[in-house]
Chain A
Amino acid sequence: MITPGLVEALTGIAGARHVRTAPAERLTYARDGLPTHRRVPAVVVLPGSRDELVAVVRLLAAHHVPFVPRGAGTGLSGGALADGAAVLLVLTRLNRILSLDPGNRVAVVEPGVVNVRLSAAAAAHGLHYAPDPSSQTACTIGGNVAENAGGPHCLKYGVTAQHVLALEVVLADGRIVELGSPGGEPWGPDVVGLFVGSEGNFGIATRIAVRLLPLPRAVRTLLAAFASLRAAGEAVSAVIASGIVPAALEMMDQSCIRAVEDSVYAAGYPRDAAAVLLVELDGHSDEAVAADTETVQELLSSHDAASIRVAADAGERERLWQGRKKAFGAMGRLSRDLVVQDAVVPRSALPDVLETIGRIAATYQVTVSNVFHAGDGNLHPNISFDARVPGLRTRVDAASTAIMEACVAVGGTITGEHGVGLDKLRYMPLIFDAESLAAMRAVRRVWDPEERVNPGKVVPVHACREWTGVRSVEWGVRSVASRDAPADSALRTPHSALDT
C-alpha cells in the first residue's frame, strides 16, 4: 500500500521536486499517445540517476507496491499508464549517452535518451541508430526496447530487437541482472531477445547497449501515385518479391495525403491520388542504388503508377519524409480524437485487406485513414472521431475490432510495433490459445513472481490456462492426428489462427 511514510521515503531518495503527488501534476501522466485510455497514478517519481532508480525499486519491493516504468509517454497501446494503486517511474532524467565507440559501432545509453539524440551523436562518426519510429524526436530508447519499436527504415535494417546487444535490468525485487554480452553474442539462452518487447513486464532496462550502423553513402527517394489502393498494394508485393530490399516502403491513402497537404507539413503529394508509395533505396555505392532505383521505377510503372517523382536533392527528400513522419499529427487536425491502429498482414494480402478496411469504415460510418509501413505489411488504419458524439465511441471500437479480425483472418497479427499494453489485451485470444497465453504469463512470473511491474498489461490473465501441477486427465485421451490426415488438420493447434 502507498502510505504517507512511503512517499516520504521516496522523497528521501529522489528529492521533493521529483516526487509528484498533487492531483494536477499526476493528471499530466494520465494518458500516453493513445487517447482512449486514462489512468491517474498514485504517485509519480522521476529518479535522477540509475542508483536512485534502483533504490526506489528496492523500496517499492520491500513494500510490495506495484510500479510502472515510463519513458516519453508516446506509446500507442496504453502501456505506460499506472493506476491509483501504483507508482509511476518516469525515466526521462536518465538521459546520458554513456559511451559511443565508433570503431566497434556500439553505444551504451541510459533508458531515457531520446531516440533521435543518439543518431545525432553517432552522425559525427558517420554512423546512425537505425530504428527510426516516426515519434523519434520524442520517444526514448528505453521505451523502444520495451515495445520493440520499428520505423520506416526497419524494412531493410530490422526492428529494435536486431540492434540491442546487451542490457542491464533492475528486476521487480530490486536485483540487478546483466543480459547478453557487449559484442551481442547471447550469454546462455537469448534473454536479451526475450526482454526486448516485454513492455515493461520483466523489469526496467537501466542500461542499453546498441549497435550503430554506417550512414548510407547513396540515397534515392521516390514518390509514386496510384489511382487505386489495390494497385498500390500490388506494387508493394511486386517490389518485395523482386528481391530488392528498399530501405523504406511506405504507403499513404487519399485521406492521409489530403490531411498532410492541408497542414503545415504539406509535401507536394498529389491530392487526387488514391494512394502514394514513398520508396527509399540506399546503399554504399551510387551506381548500385541508381540501378536498383531504375528497376523499382520500372516495377512501379508496370503496376500502373500514375506518376513517379524522384526527389532531386536532399531538401526535396526531407520534405517528402516530413509529410510522412508528421502524418499522424496532420490527421489530428481532421477531428478531435484519433485512434492510431496497428496490425500486420502478409504483404500479398495488402490489396484485399485495404479494401476490406474500406468496407468496415463504411459499415460503421467512421473515417479511416491509412498511413503505414507497407513493405512490412504493417498497417496503421487510423480512425478520426469526436468522442463527444453520442454512440460514436462504440462504433469506433466495433470498427477497430472488425479490422483486427480481418487482419488475423488472413494470417496476420494484432500489433506490429505499438505493443499490446492495455488496448490490445482483448485481441490476444484472437491469435494465441489459452496454453500459449499461459506460457507467456509463466515466463513473466520467472522475472517478476509478484506480477508487480506494469501490472495488468500484455497478457489477458483470465484467458490463460492454468500453468502448474500435473497434466489434466483430458490429455490422456486426446486423439492424435495421424500422418495420413490432411496437412491442415495435423498442424492446426487448438484455437489457433497462426499455423493454418
Chain B
Amino acid sequence: MSLLDRVRALLGDDAVEIAGGADAVPRVAPASPDAVALLLGTAREEGWRVRLEGAGTWLPADAPADLALTTRRLDRVPAVEPQDLSATAEAGIGCDLLRQQLADRGTWLALDPPGLAGRTLGSVVATATAGPLRHGFGAVRDHILGVTFVTGDGRLVQSGGRVVKNVAGYDLTKLEAGGFGAFGVIVLVHLRLRALPRADQTFVLAGTREDLTQVAEDVAAAGLQPAALELMSPALARRDGWALAVRLAGSAALVAAEEAGLRGASGGRFTALRAEEAHGFWMRAAESFATRPITFRTGGLPDSSDELLDLLQHQVGDEWVSASPGVGAIRWAGDTTVDRLRRLRRTLAGLEVPLTLERAPWPIRSAVGHFGAYREGVGPLVAGLRRTFDPGEAFVVAVEGSD
C-alpha cells in the first residue's frame, strides 16, 4: 500500500488535504488527538519522516519529509471559563479566532507573538515566541497550565492540568513550550487567562536609540510596571527614527496612575495613540517579522541590552529589531548567512547569552539549528530527551545545526 492509501485507510479520505504539493509532500490533517497518535504510531512503524505544520504562516514548509502533519483541523475551543480565567483550546486554532472567542467572554490571553494573526496556538507554544507583552506578563510558558501532546511514536501524553497552580509530577509542559515540535505534537493547550483590561493605552516616543535607551531606564527606575516597554528599529515602528513604545493595561485607576508616572519619568515627551492606531501599530510590528526570511531571538541581563544591540548591528545589521530592554529580550529579523549566524551565536555564547533561531529557510535552519553552543552538560540531556519523545526520529526538526 502506498503511504497515501495507508493514511486514508487509517484516518479517512478527508484527512488528506493535499495529495502532493509542489515539493510532492502530502499534507495530512488529522481531526482528533487520537488520530494524530494513530498517524504517528504508524509513521514509527513505517519509518516515515514527518514535518509539523500549524497554519503554515511562520516556518517555511520546506523541511524534507515523507508527509506533512498539519494541526489545522484541531481547531476547537472546548472550554472558556471567565470565572476561573482559564481556557482549553486545541492546538490548531488560529490565534485571531481564539482571541475573538476569549474577548466575547471578557477574557484575554496576554500574548502578542510575532507573525500573522492567523498563526496557530500550537505553533506559538511550540516556538515559545512571545512579543512585547513579555515585559509585563512573562514568557509563553507562563501562560500555559498544561498540554496534551503526541510523541514521535504515537503516544498521547498529558502534563500539567487546567488549574492555575499545579505541582503534580514533573512539568513536561515546559519542554513542549519552546521545543519547536521536537518533543511532540501539541494537540491540546490549557491556558491561563486575564480579564480583558478595562483600560489599554499605548504611548510612543521617537528618537535615537541612545536617547530612548535612557528613557527606558528612567521608566524602569520610576518603578512603573507597563504591560510592554518595547524599543523598535525605525523600519519596524514605521517611524523616521527608533521608537520606544509603552503599553499600559489594567484598571482605569492603574492606567491613569501609570500614565502620570510615565509623564513624570519622560518629561511628557510621549505621544498617546488612539485605540485604532495602537492596534494597528502593534499588529504591523508583529506581522513585519513574517516578511523577512530569518528571525531569531536572544536575551541577556537587562543592563547588557544596549551592548547586545550594538553587537547585532555590527554583525548582522539592525534594520528589523525589537527589544524589551526591561527583561533583556531581543528579536531580530532580516536576511543573513549561515556563517554569520554561527559566528554570532559563538560570540553571544561567550557572553553567556543564547541565540534561538526562530525561523529560516530549511538550508539555513538545518545548518544553524534552532539551538546550539549549549552550556556545560546540556547537549547530552537534550539528546536524551529527544530519544525519549521521538525514538524513531520521525520529526523533521532542526533542533541543532550541522556544524
B93 to chain A, nearest CB (A): 13
Is A104 an interface position by the 8 A CB rule? yes
| CB–CB A432/B158 < 8 A | yes
Is B162 an interface position by the 8 A CB rule? yes
| CB–CB B44/A471 < 8 A | yes
| CB–CB B377/A471 < 8 A | no
| CB–CB A482/B163 < 8 A | no
Q: Mark A195-235, 1 if CB is under 8 A from B, else 0.
A: 01110011000000000001001000000000000000000
B191 to chain A, nearest CB (A): 13
Is A458 an interface position by the 8 A CB rule? yes
| CB–CB B32/A483 < 8 A | yes
| CB–CB B223/A377 < 8 A | no
| CB–CB A439/B172 < 8 A | yes
| CB–CB A493/B171 < 8 A | no
Is B328 an interface position by the 8 A CB rule? yes
| Residues of B close to A415: CB separation below 8 A | 166-168
Which residue on A lies nearest to B348, using beta carbons? A181
Is B314 an interface position by the 8 A CB rule? no
| CB–CB A159/B165 < 8 A | yes
| Residues of B close to A437: CB separation below 8 A | 169
| CB–CB A187/B175 < 8 A | no
B residues 241-256 touching A (CB-CB < 8 Å):
250-254, 256
A472 to B297, CA, bound (A): 41
| CB–CB A183/B300 < 8 A | yes
| CB–CB A482/B155 < 8 A | no
| CB–CB A443/B388 < 8 A | yes
B229 to chain A, nearest CB (A): 14
| CB–CB A348/B81 < 8 A | yes
- The one of A106, A197, A198, A285 in contact with B261, judged by C-beta atoms closer than 8 angstroms, is A285
| CB–CB A444/B156 < 8 A | no
| Residues of A close to B32: CB separation below 8 A | 480-483, 485, 490-491
B2 to chain A, nearest CB (A): 18
A447 to B381, CA, bound (A): 7
- The one of B171, B261, B299 in contact with A148, judged by C-beta atoms closer than 8 angstroms, is B171
| CB–CB A177/B35 < 8 A | no
| CB–CB A181/B299 < 8 A | yes
Is A246 an interface position by the 8 A CB rule? no
A residues 463-500 touching B (CB-CB < 8 Å):
467, 470-471, 475-476, 478-483, 485, 487-488, 490-491, 493-494, 496, 498-499
Which residue on B lies nearest to A465, using beta carbons? B155
Which residue on B lies nearest to A168, using beta carbons? B376
| CB–CB A459/B169 < 8 A | yes
| CB–CB B298/A185 < 8 A | yes
A56 to B375, CA, bound (A): 24
Is B198 an interface position by the 8 A CB rule? yes
A177 to B158, CA, bound (A): 27
Binds A, one of B140-148, B283-291, B358-366: B140-148
A397 to chain B, nearest CB (A): 19
| Residues of B close to A478: CB separation below 8 A | 34, 38
| CB–CB A377/B85 < 8 A | no
Q: Contacts A177-B378, A183-B353, A346-B81: A377 and B164 contacting too (C-beta < 8 A)? A: yes
| CB–CB B33/A194 < 8 A | no
| CB–CB A483/B88 < 8 A | no
| CB–CB A428/B168 < 8 A | yes
A292 to B256, CA, bound (A): 12
A189 to B378, CA, bound (A): 10
A444 to B162, CA, bound (A): 23
Is A295 an interface position by the 8 A CB rule? yes
Is B179 an interface position by the 8 A CB rule? yes
| Residues of A close to B327: CB separation below 8 A | 184
| CB–CB A481/B304 < 8 A | no
Is A147 an interface position by the 8 A CB rule? yes
- The one of B38, B156, B197, B258 in contact with A435, judged by C-beta atoms closer than 8 angstroms, is B156
| CB–CB B163/A411 < 8 A | yes
| CB–CB A498/B161 < 8 A | yes
| Residues of B close to A499: CB separation below 8 A | 78, 88, 148, 158, 162, 188
B262 to chain A, nearest CB (A): 11
| Residues of B close to A103: CB separation below 8 A | 302-303
| CB–CB A288/B257 < 8 A | yes
| CB–CB B254/A283 < 8 A | yes
A485 to B32, CA, bound (A): 10
A318 to chain B, nearest CB (A): 23
| Residues of B close to A431: CB separation below 8 A | 161, 168
Interface extent on A, as a size class? 35 or more
Which residue on B lies nearest to A487, using beta carbons? B78
A245 to B146, CA, bound (A): 22
Give the B interface residue count (CB, 8 A): 105
Q: Contacts A175-B377, A291-B253, A442-B388: A193 and B174 contacting too (C-beta < 8 A)? A: yes
A453 to B174, CA, bound (A): 21
| CB–CB B167/A416 < 8 A | yes
| Residues of A close to B41: CB separation below 8 A | 471, 475-476
Is A188 an interface position by the 8 A CB rule? yes
Binds B, one of A32-40, A330-338, A418-426: A418-426
A310 to B41, CA, bound (A): 60
Is A436 an interface position by the 8 A CB rule? yes
| Residues of A close to B60: CB separation below 8 A | none
Is B301 an interface position by the 8 A CB rule? yes
| CB–CB B83/A241 < 8 A | yes
- The one of B11, B161, B172, B382 in contact with A188, judged by C-beta atoms closer than 8 angstroms, is B382
Among B41, B153, B183, B301, the most chain A Cβ lie within 10 Å of the Cβ of B301
A382 to B11, CA, bound (A): 50
Q: Mark A280-323, 1 if CB is under 8 A from B, else 0.
A: 00011101101110010000000000000000000000000000
- The one of A193, A287, A378, A488 in contact with B165, judged by C-beta atoms closer than 8 angstroms, is A378
| CB–CB A291/B251 < 8 A | yes
Is A376 an interface position by the 8 A CB rule? yes
A213 to B229, CA, bound (A): 17
A175 to B375, CA, bound (A): 13
| CB–CB B302/A104 < 8 A | yes
Q: Contacts A217-B223, A284-B223: A443 and B168 contacting too (C-beta < 8 A)? A: no
A480 to B31, CA, bound (A): 9
| Residues of B close to A459: CB separation below 8 A | 169-170
Which residue on A lies nearest to B195, using beta carbons? A243
Among B162, B164, B223, B376, the most chain A Cβ lie within 10 Å of the Cβ of B164
Is B84 an interface position by the 8 A CB rule? yes
- The one of A378, A440, A467, A470 in contact with B172, judged by C-beta atoms closer than 8 angstroms, is A440
Among B151, B197, B257, the most chain A Cβ lie within 10 Å of the Cβ of B257
| CB–CB B157/A435 < 8 A | yes
| Residues of B close to A242: CB separation below 8 A | 195
Q: Mark B33-53, 1 if CB is under 8 A from A, else 0.
A: 111011001101100000000
Q: Mark A390-411, 1 if CB is under 8 A from B, else 0.
A: 0000000000000000000001
- The one of A284, A439, A487 in contact with B257, judged by C-beta atoms closer than 8 angstroms, is A284
- The one of A176, A214, A344 in contact with B376, judged by C-beta atoms closer than 8 angstroms, is A176
| CB–CB A418/B34 < 8 A | no
| Residues of A close to B376: CB separation below 8 A | 176-178
Q: Contacts A183-B300, A416-B167: A240 and B85 contacting too (C-beta < 8 A)? A: yes
Given contacts A190-B177, A192-B174, A194-B170, 8 further A-B contacts (CB under 8 A): A183-B300, A187-B375, A346-B86, A347-B84, A436-B157, A436-B169, A443-B388, A499-B88
**10 A–B contact pairs at CB < 8 A?**
A148-B167, A181-B353, A182-B352, A285-B258, A346-B86, A348-B84, A376-B165, A377-B165, A443-B175, A471-B41
Identify the 8 closest CB pairs spanning chains A and B, nearest first.
A243-B195, A193-B174, A177-B377, A185-B299, A291-B253, A285-B257, A446-B384, A348-B83
